[in-house]
Structures are given as C-alpha cells and as structure tokens.
Structure 1
Amino acid sequence: MSERIHKQQEELAQLIERYSGKDGVHMTAIPFLSFTRRSHVTGSNFGVYNPSFCMVVQGVKEVLLAHESFRYGPADYLVASVDLPVTSQVMEASSPVPYLSLKLEFTPSQILEILSDSETRVGPKVSAKRGMFVSRIELSLLDAVIRLVRLLENPKDISVLAPLFTKEILYKVLQGQHGVMLEQMAIEGSSTKRIRDVIEHIMNNYDRSFRIEELADLANMSVSSLHRHFKEVTAMSPIQFQKQLRLQEARRLLLAESTDAADVSFRVGYESPSQFSREYSRMFGLSPIQDIKHLRTINV
C-alpha cells in the first residue's frame, strides 16, 4: 500500500474505534453504514449478506460462500451484489490491534440511478457471474469512503452529503475490475437480474416447498439454465440456498425463544424433525440442543 493509503487506513481505524468503543456490530448515524469491532479471532458466524460494500480496516476476514473462500484485509474490499447466505470468520484480531471493518448496504435502484446519470455505458447482457467478489482498494475509492465516514464528525451534513458520497463509492466500484458483476444485477432482462428475482422469491418463501419448474418460470429460463445460472451467482443450487436460509432462521429462533427443535423445524418448513436435526448438525457441527446450549454459554 502507498503511504497515503496507509494514512487513510489509520484515520479510518481511529474513526471506527471512536464510534464503536467495544466489540460488536454498531449502526451509525449514516443510513445503511455499520462498523464491526472484534478484539479476538472468532469462530464461524452464519448469516445473510445483503447487497453491500464491505471493507476491512484492521485484521483479516474470511467469508465462505458454499465452499468458495473470499479472504480480505486492509488492502481489499468485498462486494455482495445479491442476498447470499454465508459463513464468515475473523481470522486476525487481538486486543492491541482489533479487527475493524465497515459495511455499506445498497439497493439495485441505487446502481440503476448511477448507470442512468453517468457516462457509464451499460455493457451487453453477459452470462451470470458470481454474486460476490473481492477487489484491491484504490486510492480514489478510499478517498470517497473516508469522506463518508468523516460525516460522523459533522452530523448536520449527513442528510445532504451521505447520499452523494455513497453514490461516489458505488460509482467507483462500478468502474473497477469487477464492476460488470454489480452492473448486471440491476439491468432488467440480464440473467443475473433474473436470478436475483428468484433469490428474492426464495428469501420471502423459504419456509414453503416449491417446484424447480416454478422458479424456472419466474426467471423465464429452462430448468437446466436456471440451475446453471443460479449456481454461477450463488455457488449453490436453489435447494441448497433454501436449506441454508431455513437452518439459519431455525438457529435464530432457537436462540431467541424457549421452544423445542421439533416445533422450530416445522416453522421453517421441514416436515421431518429427524431430517432437520441431521441437516442442522451437518451445518453447525452440533445437534440443535447442544448448539444452542453452547451459544448461550459463550454469550453469557
């Protein structure tokens, strides 16, 4: 990294520390911008990444999408262009040098607005690409990020300037090496946009059964084409995608409520509690009862 990038990273680290203060995820006064601080390496965390721009300022993080690994640190940024169930882990962190990162969520309409307002030429509709990528940070992008974060020092400017700086950040990403992946998710008729519609449908109906032909009709694709494009974007099949959503929601319900595993299995769409238990154990490494007991112990 150049000396200027290094100084920008140091300033960002100071700002994130100032507005975090302790370990955890911290929402900020800037809409859709959050900070994360961890003073130790973490175990695997399961969740859904919404469309977002993510940057590590200190430490290293690894994100697993199915069996594909995305590892990034202060020289990189990660973008999720669609909703994706992932497993993530902080790989480098300590009390003296905690893991610090930021996450800026965005919508397809923001991408379309940039494509409409700028001289950026919308590329041809290309085959669906992976909905997650890591790129090297560039100085111009880092400048836009730090200007956005500095607004926390002048809250009265947030309502006017935060949308402008957010737009600049997304514009810079669109201009980058993997910008076409972000562009295609917003363009009507592109295979990525059609897969995004299927993802949204599964996200909203994860607890009910569906036929693959139903999803293919929604995407206006053949069944084989749907499978190919869906796996290209998400690194998994529609059924595997739905299974991850069901199991993540089941885990959340078990942790939040005093209820039994069988009841939760039915609520998230399973017809067989024994099948639910097997798949839960395969994904999280412990049975539902053992896993929740372990989570409550470490969260005390």
Structure 2
Amino acid sequence: MDRNTQGALEEDGIAVLAREIGRVLPANGDYATPVAGLMLHRRSAPAAPMPCIYGFGLGVIAQGSKQVMLGEKVYDYTPGDAMLTTVDLPVVSNVTLASPQTPFLGLMLSIDPSLVLQLAADMGLDQAPQGCAAQSIAFKALDPAVLACLVRLVRLSGEPALAPFLAPLVQREIVIRLLSGPFGPLLRHVVVVGSPRQQIAKAVNWLKQHFSDTLRVDALAASVHMSPSTFRQHFRNVTGMSPLQYQKQLRLQEARQLMLSQDIDAGSAGVRVGYDSASQFSREYARLFGAPPLRDIQRMRVENLI
C-alpha cells in the first residue's frame, strides 16, 4: 500500500470515528460511556486553557484540535494524533479549533497498568529497551489498526448489554498493538520493576489517595527508596512539577469537582481537600483557574449549557 492510499484510509477512519462520536454525543459535554474507561468529548467553540488531570490512557482527537501544556512544554494535538500518558498528569489543555458546524470531537481511553504488565510479559516485552528515556506523555501518529479498534469501542457504547463482554477483548487488542507499535518502548518503561519511573508512579498514587494530608516530601521519598533530592528530580522529570505543586493541583481539582457536583460552598470544599485557610484556598484557586471559586463555578455551569 502506497503512502497516499494509506493516508486516505486513515483520513476516512478518522471521519468514521468522528461520525460515531457525534452520533453517541450529539450535545456538548463529557460522556462516560457504558464501555468501562471510555470517555467521549464534544465542544462547539474554542475554550480558554483549563487545568485538568490526564490519567494513564490513550487520547485521540477525531475532529477539531487541542493544545496541551505540561510544565513549560506545549503540544499541538490534531486529528490523526494519538496521545499516550503513563502516569496521572496535571496539565493545562484547551480546545483551539471547534465550531457549531464542525465541533471538537475526541475520546480518552483509560488503560489498566496491570493489563500492560500481563501482556508485556506474555509478549516477552517486560524489559525496557536500552537507550530509550522514560516519558510521561507522548504524541505519535495514530495506528490505523488502533483506530479501527477505537471505532468498534465507540460503537459498543451503543450496546450496553454487550459492552461488558466485548469491550475488554477490544481493549486487550489495543494494548497489544500499542506495545508492538511506536508507543511500545514508552509502555515498556511502565512494567520495569524498581525503575525510577515506576517508583514515581507509586508516589503519585499515594498522593492521589492522601492529597488532603500534610505532605512530608522526605518521608514520601523514603517510601519509594530514594533520597529527597533524587526523588524531587525524578518527580519533576515525570510530572513536570514538584511534589508540592502536584499535591496543590490535586487539591484544587478535587475542590472544584466537589463544588460542581455536590453544590457545596468554597469554604467547605477548601477544608475537605486539606486547606486550613479559606483566604489561601481562594487565592490559590483563582491563580490556577483564573477566577475565584464562586465566579469560576458559575462560569463552568454556563459553559456546560452552551
């Protein structure tokens, strides 16, 4: 197959994926499908940069475009690109191309690290390749075979009775193809026992479960068998920020979700995520989200109705 023919097939595949997402999600929003781990997204206008957390998974844009910022790095993300994240990352992202006639359409598929570990071992790929640096986020051209699997998954979201039985088989195929394709070296770093990247992943998991606790960085470093200075360096290399900055992002993201989903006031949300000072919570919230809590939540509710 020549390159032009392959490109045409990939373009057609992306168009099919966009059509299927649009069919499932006819209005703006984020939709948790009956397929476990599959989220669909639709926006009809560009949006301001917004802090959020990307979990371990595969992201794909079917229509429109997006920008993702991790630390000082900026990534442009368009149809035909696949984004793989291998640890929970606080990023800043925004839709850059969308309209009512041609809305932004995308998906995020969570990946189970234990499935990666199992399949890498079965395939004899349970060692990281030499000379390949571990990354927490990467963008590659979307494999047509993976694209075909994603179309099947989106279609399965319309078959809730069958999805629990068929979707795991498709997800398994996706992981196999990722391991054997351009993302393979990155995924193989995930399964290397005792590697710095895996140790940082353990620390990140601890922070996710205890973000409201007082953070003692030296103790967290010791728990993953690193000196404090080495831990800080590896943590920043993987996540793009310090442990304290990471914890702050987790706290503020959780507070925002509490106010949106449970309709609680800012003071109560701040206390629940670990803040002792309401004024400090409000300052740091406004610095991250661009507005004080009450104004930001009002804005979010209005935008979700557009």
TM surpasses 0.5: yes
- 3-state SS in 1 of match to 2:282: helix
Does the alignment pair 1:2 with 2:7? yes
- Is the Cα–Cα contact under 8 Å of residues 227 and 237 in structure 1 kept in the other structure? yes
> What secondary structure, in the 3-state scheme, does the structure 2 residue paired with 1:140 have?
helix
Matched, 1:166 2:166: no
Q: 1:30 to 1:224 in 2, by over 3 A?
A: same
Question: Helix, strand or coil: the match of 1:244?
Answer: helix
Displacement of 1:128 in angstroms is 6.7
Q: Is the 8 A contact 1:26 1:36 kept in 2?
A: yes
Work out whether 1:33 is the aligned partner of 2:21.
Answer: no
**Structure 1 stretch 205-214 or stretch 32-41: which is displaced more?**
32-41
Answer yes or no: is 1:93 the counterpart of 2:98.
yes
Matched, 1:275 2:273: no
Unaligned 5+ residue runs, structure 1?
Answer: none
Aligned to 1:284: 289
Q: CA deviation at 1:188?
A: 2.0
Q: Deviation at 1:215?
A: 0.9
**Which residue number in structure 2 is paired with residue 201 of structure 1?**
206
Alpha-carbon spacing, 1:73–1:212, altered in 2? closer, same or farther (3 Å): same
**Alpha-carbon distance in structure 1 between the residues aligned to 2:304 and 2:106:** 22
Distance in 2 (CA, whole Å) between partners of 1:57 and 1:244 is 28
* Bigger Cα displacement from structure 2, 242-251 vs 265-274: 265-274
- State yes or no: 1:225 paired with 2:266: no
**Deviation string, structure 1 residues 166-210 (Cα, Å, up to 9, x no partner):** 122122222333432222223321111111110010111111112
Provide the rounded CA distance (Å) in 2 between the counterparts of 1:259 and 1:157: 38
Show the counterpart of 2:22. Answer: 17
Residues 257/26 of structure 1: CA separation in 2 closer, same or farther (3 Å cut): closer
CA-atom RMSD, angstroms? 2.4
Structure 2 equivalent of residue 66 of structure 1: 71
How far apart are the structure 2 equivalents of 1:37 and 1:53?
Answer: 17
* CA offset digits 1:14-61 (Å, max 9, x no partner): 211111122212232322222212122123333222211111011101
Amino acid at match of 1:175: S
CA 1:253/1:152 → structure 2, altered by over 3 Å: closer, same or farther?
closer
Q: Which residue of 2 aligns with 1:236?
A: 241
Give the conservation status (yes or no) of the 8 Å contact 2:58–2:109: yes
CA distance in 2 between partners of 1:221 and 1:258 (Å): 41
2-structure distance, mates of 1:33, 1:17? 15
Answer yes or no: is the 8 Å Cα contact 2:14–2:80 preserved in 1.
no
Distance 1:213 1:171, change over 3 A: same
Shift of 1:83: 1.3
Where does the alignment leave 5 or more consecutive residues of structure 2 unmatched? 1-5
Q: Is contact 1:27-1:35 (8 Å) kept?
A: yes
Q: Which stretch of structure 1 is more off in the superposition, 98-107 or 160-169?
A: 160-169
Question: Paired residue for 1:51?
Answer: 56
Q: Partners in 2 of 1:146 and 1:224 — Cα distance?
A: 45
Q: Following the alignment from structure 2 to structure 1, what is the Cα–Cα distance between the partners of residues 304 and 24?
A: 23
Inter-partner Cα distance in structure 2 for 1:133 and 1:256: 31
Question: Which residue in the other structure is 2:215 paired with?
Answer: 210
Secondary structure at the aligned position of 1:2 is classed as: helix
Is the contact between residue 127 and residue 192 of structure 1 (CA under 8 Å) also seen in structure 2? Answer: no
In the aligned structure 2, how far is the partner of 1:26 from the partner of 1:285?
25
CA 1:140/1:290 → structure 2, altered by over 3 Å: closer, same or farther?
Answer: closer
Q: Tell me whether 102-111 or 282-291 shows the greater mean CA deviation.
A: 282-291
Instruction: From the superposition, tell whether residues 152 and 287 of structure 1 become closer, same or farther in structure 2 (CA, over 3 Å).
Output: closer
Equivalent pair of 1:128/1:191 in contact (CA under 8 Å): no
Looking at structure 1, the residues matched to 228 and 259 of structure 2 have their Cα atoms a distance apart, in angstroms, of 35
Paired residues of 1:75 and 1:136 also in contact (CA < 8 A)? yes
State the 1:125 CA deviation. Answer: 8.2
| AA of the residue aligned to 2:167 | A
Shift of 1:272: 2.4
Aligned with 1:248 (options 250, 253, 258): 253
Q: Which residue pairs with 2:3 in the alignment?
A: none
**TM-aligned CA distance change 1:76 to 1:297, over 3 Å:** closer
Tell me if the contact between 2:58 and 2:83 (Cα under 8 Å) persists in the aligned partners: yes
Identity in percent: 35
Alignment of 1:148-167 (within 5 A): 148-152=153-157, 158-167=163-172
Alpha-carbon distance in structure 2 between the residues aligned to 1:92 and 1:29: 28
How far off its partner does 1:293 sit?
3.7
2:270 equivalent in structure 1: 265
Instruction: Output the CA distance in 2 between the equivalents of 1:224 and 1:239.
Output: 14
Per-residue CA shift, 1:213-244, capped at 9, x if unaligned?
Answer: 11111111111111111111100010000011
How big is the shift at 1:141? 2.5
